[in-house]
Amino acid sequence: MDNSVDLPGYKYYVDADGTRPDVKVAFVNIVESPRDVVRGVVLDADLDALDLRERNYERREVEAGLWAYVGTAEARGRFDAGPSVVSSEYLALVPAGEAPGVPVWDLRRVDLD
């Protein structure tokens, strides 16, 4: 996400001194490859509500009734344009896996109305 842009009902991040860094804050994405296996969870969820929440992802049907969220082309473009970072708070919520490949910063999330 572009941390310099306010989107109603979304969020932005500040660093320890309260300033809002001009960075792209990155999140988990599925890299598509025919050999990859993705560990995940199965939820009984309101997919329309989840689609709104996961605005940087698009829902794709993996098999009948089973969906995965994959970063949109726009989100991947922002990541590539950088500079991109990952919030240490967010990374702590993600099951152990590969290193993110971008700097990990101590950021605090600020939710917008």
Measured CA to CA, the distance from residue 68 to residue 57 in angstroms comes to 9
- The pLDDT assigned to 45 comes to 86
Mean pLDDT of 78-84: 95
Say what the pTM is: 0.79
- The pLDDT assigned to 59 comes to 93
Looking at the domain assignment, is residue 97 inside a domain? yes
Whether residue 42 has pLDDT greater than 80: no
Range of the domain at 79: 11-111
Mean pLDDT of 37-53: 83
Four-point Cα dihedral 44, 42, 97, 56, nearest 10: -40
Q: How many domains does the chain have?
A: 1
As a whole number of Å, the CA-based R_g of the chain is 15
Looking at the domain assignment, is residue 58 inside a domain? yes
- The pLDDT assigned to 19 comes to 97
Higher pLDDT, 82 or 98: 82
Looking at the domain assignment, is residue 43 inside a domain? yes
Looking at the domain assignment, is residue 35 inside a domain? yes
Identify the residue whose tokens are 């025919």.
34
